Homo-oligomer: A and B are copies of this chain.
Amino acid sequence: MNTTIGWEFYRSFLGVLKEGSLSGAARALGITQPTAGRHIAALEQALGVALFTRSQVGLMPTEIALALRPYAEAMESTAASLERTASSHGEGVRGVVRVSASDVIGVEVLPPVIARLRDRHPDLKVELVLTDRIHDLLRREADIAVRMMRPDQGQLVARRIGQIELGLHARKDYLARHGEPRTVAELASHSVIGYDQPSAFVRKTEKSVHGFSRDMFSLRTDNNLAQLALIRGGAGIGFCQVPIARRDDSLARVLARKFSLQLETWVTMHEDLRNSPRCRTTFDALVEGLQQYVA
């Protein structure tokens, strides 16, 4: 049961998976290429499986290596999480807290919230992970997450913020030049900014708004920040969060009655962290800041 495989090997293994080569992993991990190679060789022997097929251009992971990757990643996030916990030792709110949020929230909403938080607690360091992927709190990839859906898992402390409304917007001068669409059908003659890959969002909208389809998008990107920037740049009509648009006088809402989607917003945290001052304080600050944003 108590095997003797060094945990260091798993680090190198993960490094090679991430970088695609022994040399790259060595650079990333601060070791040398022969050492990385030896680690992989030792791990392969210990596990009794071939993890990579070697070539002169790098190392190709085998099927097994890909299957093992999530475990190595879990170990990595756990180690990082351990270090964050250790960093918070001492009086008051201090250490490193890791917050996950969508890119739009992270760029448009959180900065002042975090600034105020850091103002009050200078010893607190904040790591911001901006991704739409549901960062699994249970796997310790982040301490706190701002999510656009109700958390379905137990073991989480969750606070509902409310609903953020999503609507179609455009620059006023764009509308002045191209006219303002009064019906869904009229959208077809406009530059509509939307998603590239068909997403859950698109499917939901297609169901709720009659006459709407993905084909209407003439400017397509999956990057929400780029969509927002395109709207602000006057490139066309696109979706953005209503509270964000309201802050900008040059933006106007379009077809408000037809297009209105509500995003359930939650702040979540692993319940183990409830008694950690750094996480508790950050959690409360995020809840407060987001509530103000929604209101």
Cβ-defined contact, B86 with A48, below 8 A: yes
* Shortest beta-carbon distance from A174 to chain B in Å: 41
Contact in complex: A78, B78 (CB < 8 Å): yes
A294 to B6, CA, bound (A): 44
Q: Chain A interface secondary structure, helix, strand, loop or mixed?
A: helix
Does A112 touch B at the CB level, under 8 Å? no
User: Is residue A189 contacting chain B, with contact meaning CB distance below 8 A?
Assistant: no
Question: In the complex, which residues of chain B have a beta carbon less than 8 angstroms from the beta carbon of A89?
Answer: 49, 64
Residues of chain A from 72 to 94 with CB closer than 8 A to chain B in the complex: 72, 74-75, 78-83, 85-87, 89
Residues of B within 8 A of A127 (CB): 1
Residues of B within 8 A of A64 (CB): 86, 89
Q: Is A197 an interface residue (CB 8 A)?
A: no
CB–CB A11/B5 < 8 A: no
Would you give the 0/1 interface string for A112-148, flagging 1 where the beta carbon is closer than 8 Å to chain B?
0000000000000001000000000010100000000
With A86-B48, A154-B153 known as contacts, the answer to whether A75 contacts B67 (CB < 8 A) is no
A155 an interface residue at 8 Å Cβ cutoff?
yes
Cβ of A152 within 8 Å of any chain B Cβ, yes or no, is yes
Q: Of B5, B6, B67, B75, which is within 8 A of A78 by CB?
A: B75
Chain A contacts with B in 21-36, Cβ cutoff 8 A: 28-30
**Chain A to chain B: the 9 pairs with minimum beta-carbon distance, closest first:** A7-B7, A71-B82, A47-B86, A152-B154, A74-B78, A153-B154, A75-B78, A49-B89, A64-B89
Q: Could you list 20 A-B pairs, sorted by A, with CB under 8 Å?
A: A3-B80, A4-B30, A7-B11, A10-B79, A47-B83, A47-B86, A47-B87, A48-B86, A64-B89, A70-B272, A71-B78, A71-B82, A72-B82, A74-B74, A74-B140, A75-B78, A75-B79, A78-B78, A138-B155, A153-B153
